[in-house]
């Protein structure tokens, strides 16, 4: 039996310890509970211990949960692959999108963001390890995309996100996160004012916090293993 309350309390404590260890302000590390594939019932257990920020990867599934939980004051983050036929729904139902990696996706999100909602918070997903197969924009294309997004009125460019390839060595886990941090610093020298680094998951949260993560995206350590039934 998964004890979501216990998992969350332990995870918050773990984040505090890591923050202290790496001289980070724990208030500058937001914990996103990645609830994809998990039922609304489990999300309610997290809400009961004060969790308010949730992340989803599949639009249809996410909208169902957002509607089921519409009585609650929650902040929903989209972290999945952006399909063009789902962009209108993403723009309407989420507060943040972490996985923007093309100008077209950005323009469409801006176009469909309803006028009566605050600007959509955006992270550009960067492929720091430059793997051909991985999602995310390559470094060479990052600045032009960031400039374009800056100019879109209904988007608020907040920062960068990355999903590195799986690695179980702590020192090696830090490398892509260090790289993302340095890229953020470079952009901020050009007045992009990015305040967000979305990096770190269940298996590499320590490496991400060590390198400056301001949002960590944690699923398994809170909700247990995911079961995909497709
Ligand atoms: C599923 C997912 C996570 C959560 O991963 P865990 O290993 O379960 O913590 C984080 N980020 C993204 C983009 C994901 O798709």
- Please give the CATH number for the structural domain made up of 4-223: 3.20.20.10
Ligand 1 midpoint to CA 115 (Å) = 31
pLDDT value at position 131? Answer: 72
218 Cβ inside 6 Å of ligand 1: yes
121 neighbors 96 (Cβ within 8 angstroms):
yes
**pLDDT value, residue 1:** 82
The pLDDT of residue 227 is 85
The finding on whether 97 has its CB within 6 A of some atom of ligand 1 is no
Q: How far apart are CA 43 and CA 219, in angstroms?
A: 11
Tell me what the mean pLDDT of segment 6-25 comes to.
98
User: How would residue 150 be classed by pLDDT, with cut points 50, 70 and 90?
Assistant: very high
pLDDT attached to residue 101: 97
Q: Which two tokens stand for residue 110?
A: 């801006």
Q: Is the CB of 222 under 6 A from ligand 1?
A: no
Model confidence, pTM: 0.97
The answer, yes or no, to whether residue 144 has pLDDT greater than 90, is yes
d(C-alpha 189, C-alpha 210), whole Å: 22
CA distance 186 to 216: 21
Q: What are phi and psi of 38, to 5 degrees?
A: -95, 145
User: Tens digit of pLDDT for each residue in 175-209?
Assistant: 999 999 999 999 999 999 999 999 999 999 999 99
Cβ neighbours, 10 Å, residue 193: 11
Phi-psi bin for 23: left (phi > 0), alpha (psi -120 to 50), beta?
left
Residues 4-13 have a mean pLDDT of 98
| In the chain, where the domains are located | 4-223
pLDDT at residue 142 is higher than 80? yes
**Is the pLDDT at 132 greater than 70, yes or no?**
no
| Long-range interactions of 183-188: CB distance < 8 A, separation 24+ | 183/126, 183/128, 183/139, 183/142, 184/159, 184/160, 184/212, 187/142, 187/143, 187/146, 187/160
pLDDT digits (tens, 9 = 90+) for 29-85: 999 999 999 999 999 999 999 999 999 999 999 999 999 999 999 999 999 999 999
């Amino acid at each position: 039996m998964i004890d979501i309350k216990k998992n969350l309390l332990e995870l918050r404590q773990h984040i505090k310890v890591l923050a202290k260890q790496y001289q980070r302000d724990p208030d500058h590390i937001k914990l996103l509970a990645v609830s994809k594939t998990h039922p609304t019932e489990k999300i309610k257990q997290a809400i009961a211990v004060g969790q308010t920020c949730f992340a989803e990867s599949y639009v249809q599934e996410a909208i169902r949960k957002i509607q089921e939980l519409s009585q609650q004051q929650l902040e929903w983050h989209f972290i999945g692959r952006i399909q063009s036929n789902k962009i209108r729904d993403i723009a309407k139902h989420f507060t943040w999108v972490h996985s923007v990696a093309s100008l077209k996706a950005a323009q469409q999100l801006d176009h469909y963001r309803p006028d009566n909602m605050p600007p959509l918070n955006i992270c550009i997903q960067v492929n720091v390890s430059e793997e051909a197969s991985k999602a995310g924009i390559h470094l060479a294309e990052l600045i032009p995309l960031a400039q374009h997004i800056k100019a879109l009125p209904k988007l608020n460019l907040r920062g960068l996100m990355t999903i590195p390839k799986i690695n179980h060595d702590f020192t090696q886990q830090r490398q892509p996160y260090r790289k993302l941090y340095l890229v953020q610093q470079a952009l901020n020298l050009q007045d992009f004012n990015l305040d967000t680094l979305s990096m770190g998951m269940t298996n590499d949260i320590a490496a991400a916090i060590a390198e400056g993560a301001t949002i960590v995206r944690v699923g398994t350590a809170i909700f247990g293993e995911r079961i995909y039934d497709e």
